[in-house]
Structure 1
Amino acid sequence: MRKEVIFAVLLGVVAATTFDTALTDEERCLGCIRDYDKVDLCGSQSDEKLCSGGHFPRLTMKYDIFQQCGEGHESWSLCAHNFECATRCLKAYVKRFAHRCFRNMTDCETIARLNIGGSKGCTGEGNSRNKEYWTDIKRCYEN
């Protein structure tokens, strides 16, 4: 009986550990955006510092998004080159402007459209470019 309880507890710990390491939908979406940005920035140029190695540490973050996200203690370029800072900034920005997006959009589509198109990324000018960007992000996100 005692061995069964210990095994069950250990099995629960393993299951919990496995569950905790799975990516959330938001993390998967942000990873797809980061990967897209890497191809966009590194596909045609060879910046060894930025583009080599397995970890690409940035999201393409527009200055106006940075100005409105509340990361004012960092400079824009430092935050844009730090994945954690850029992620915090984008999440804050999305929280602020997500209400402007259509209800039938997924959270990832909302994040992607606001990232590429700013506060009017879901409905405003440049909407065809925003749709193309979302189509590319969606291809990664759904695989």
Structure 2
Amino acid sequence: MSFTKVVCLLVTCGGAFATLNFDNIEFDSDCMKAMCYADSECEQKGCSRDYNGRMGCGFFRMNIYQFKQCYEPGREIGEDSEDAWMRCSENYECSSKCIKMIASRFKLKCYGKSDCETIARIHDGGANGCRTGLTLRYWNTVQHYLQ
């Protein structure tokens, strides 16, 4: 299951044209694809605040606290956490792995929920995302994209 997104930009450079191609996204599950669409329409939209006022960036609107909870993947020695977070959030592979890692840490708190609901609600509400009704709005949006 894959979704190919190629964006081309033609720029004049001394009379010549340059074409920029962005990486294709390979979805490893329908759930991650639905979450990507629910969060950002699966586009690298920079950063913005969600309906709870949290700042999130990239494909999954990942916040810096989530990045730190998944042990700051790709952060180089001496690199600022915020720079590494921005780079990871704008990279589909890095951000999706981070989200799945956090969900696997807290999945026991979502007893009886499907894997997709577990990932989505922990992503939206943190460690106790499955234990609060505040994450149902996000889960309903993800379910909409699953159909």
- TM > 0.5 fold call: yes
2:93 is the counterpart of 1:84 = yes
Residue 50 of structure 1: how far off its partner (Å):
3.6
Q: Distance in 2 between matches of 1:22 and 1:73?
A: 24
Question: Which structure has the greater CA radius of gyration?
Answer: 1
Residue 79 of structure 1: how far off its partner (Å):
0.6
Q: Distance in 1 between matches of 2:93 and 2:73?
A: 15
Q: Distance in 1 between matches of 2:74 and 2:141?
A: 32
Provide the residue aligned with 2:23 in structure 1.
none
Q: Distance in 2 between matches of 1:140 and 1:58?
A: 15
2:67 is the counterpart of 1:62 = no
Q: Say if 1:70 and 1:92, in contact at 8 Å, map to a contact too.
A: no
Of 23, 34, 37, the residue aligned with 1:35 is 37
Q: Distance in 1 between matches of 2:73 and 2:29?
A: 23
Of 119, 126, 130, the residue aligned with 1:111 is 119
Q: Distance in 2 between matches of 1:63 and 1:70?
A: 11
Per the normalisation by structure 1, the TM-score is: 0.63
Q: Distance in 1 between matches of 2:59 and 2:68?
A: 17
CA gap of 1:32–1:89, structure 2 versus 1, over 3 A, is same
More helix by share: 1
Residue 115 of structure 1: how far off its partner (Å):
0.6
Provide the residue aligned with 1:120 in structure 2.
128
Q: Where do 5+ consecutive residues of structure 1 fail to align?
A: 1-20, 43-48, 52-56
Of 110, 134, 137, the residue aligned with 2:139 is 134
Per the normalisation by structure 2, the TM-score is: 0.62
Residues 9-24 of structure 1 mapped to structure 2, 5 A cutoff: 21=1
Q: Distance in 2 between matches of 1:82 and 1:115?
A: 17
Look up the SS of the partner of 1:73 in the other structure. coil
More strand by share: 2
Amino acid aligned to 1:112 = A
* Superposition RMSD in Å: 2.7
